[in-house]
Amino acid sequence: MTDHSDAPHANSASLDSTGAADPEADGKPATASQRQLVWWSFKKHRLALVSAWLLIGLLVVVAFTEFLAPYDVRHRDSEYTTAPPQVLKIVDTDGGDGWRWGLHVDGYTSEQDERSLRITYETNPDDRVEVGFFVKGEEYELFGFIPWDRHLIGPKDPEDPMYLLGTTTDGKDLLTDLVYATRVSTSVGIIGVALAFLMGIVLGAISGYFGGWIDNGIQRLIELVMAVPAIPLWLGLAAALPTDMGPVMRYFIITTILAVVAWTGLAREVRGRFLAMRSEEFVTSARLDGSGHGRVMFRHMLPSFSSHIIAALSLSIPTMILAETALSWLGLGLRPPAVSWGVQLQEASKWSVLSGAPWLLIPGLAVVIAVLAFNFVGDGLRDAADPYKH
């Protein structure tokens, strides 16, 4: 090897220190806040944006369930069991006396099979059921304390049948059930994830704060819980519940079970993010600039971190929803009189019923849409959380 004392390169200045204009880096002016960057990036994800609107719609359904449902959830019409969906019409052309305007649906005619005694219903264009908005119907309490009796849509004469999505085998309005089920299933997902997140963040924080053997112990515990296959665990825990439990209690216990099984992933996410963030250069430089611990954590770390967490949360919700749906469908989760998407789909599992009543699968569509929406929003957020990444 030759002597390099004459070569200045050993201590020459690196020109790379600016690092500003990588051709692949995003070209935003440097004045945008982190929140703005995330929002800009999220907006480009069109599917995520549409999904975000869907989720807002879902939340509206959860909040205004009683108003949006045409009937009370206990409403049962034994006259019309397994009736097909009606089509909402605004004009009647075959009434004979010209066009009759006005919102209406067709009524039903029934036919009884002589041998099987089974009654089948069909919509009948000659029978007109007047439908209106904000009609008077069964009384309820909005948000649990505002007594009211108006429903967004319903038959003008409460005695008339209006079943836009058809009825179940025991004569319940599928639309009403679906609206109530949306509240239950969505909230199981959200509350479950919130619980799991709480457990995760507490244990993750303990893990990060104390470090050492406590961190080690918690990490091993998480690994072991993760090693037990989740779904049999759900099934087992759910099945071990007393059978005579009330629906509200059952709702909370099932949600807790789902959370207990799901918290490990979130705990790891939280801890991992914190650990990774701690050694990031901007955190070090914030420290060196003289910012206190609190300022570093809340002004520097949390903003760059919260979108990741929100993304992780919204990606966990669909898993919860799917788990609840499957559990309830199997008869191990929520049970009637509680309604959730899974409970609703139980109706469809007898194929003798399903073959004549495909509308019973509609709640399945709701599951798919909700799960997709949460997934897309989560994906969009995750991508947006790193505005400089692409």
Q: How many CA atoms lie within 13 A of 347 on its CB side?
A: 29
**Distance separating alpha carbons of residues 304 and 282, to the nearest angstrom:** 11
Q: How far is the CB of 263 from another protein (least distance, A)?
A: 15
Among residues 75, 326, 336, 386, the one that binds another protein under rule CB under 8 A: 326
Between 237 and 286, whose beta carbon lies closer to another protein? 237
Query: With respect to another protein, which residue has the nearer C-beta, 127 or 379?
Result: 379
**Per CB under 8 A, 101 contacts another protein:** no
142 lines the binding site for another protein (CB under 8 A): no
Instruction: Give the nearer residue to another protein in terms of CB position, either 211 or 236.
Output: 236
- Residue 361 touching another protein (CB under 8 A): yes
Establish if 364 lies at the interface with another protein (CB under 8 A): yes
Separation of alpha carbons 387 and 390, rounded Å = 7
| Least distance (Å) between residue 79 CB and another protein | 26
Residue 9 interacts with another protein (CB under 8 A): yes or no: yes
Torsion angles phi and psi, residue 39, rounded to 5: -65, -45
Closer CB to another protein, residue 191 or residue 253? 253
Burial (CB count <10 Å: 0-12, 13-18, 19+), residue 326: middle
Query: Residue 244, exposed/middle/buried by CB under 10 A (0-12, 13-18, 19+)?
Result: exposed
- Residue list 13-72, contact with another protein (CB under 8 A): 13-16, 18-24, 26-27, 44
Question: Footprint of another protein on residues 197-236 (CB under 8 A)?
Answer: 224-225, 227-233, 235-236
**Minimum CB distance to another protein, residue 254 (Å):** 14
- The encoded tokens of residue 157 equal 């004469």
Which CB atom, from 91 or from 361, has the smaller least distance to another protein?
Answer: 361
CB of 332 to another protein, least distance (A): 6
User: Binding residues for another protein, per CB under 8 A?
Assistant: 1-2, 4, 7-16, 18-24, 26-27, 44, 224-225, 227-233, 235-243, 318, 322, 325-326, 329-332, 345, 348-349, 351, 354-355, 358, 361, 364, 367-368, 371-372, 375
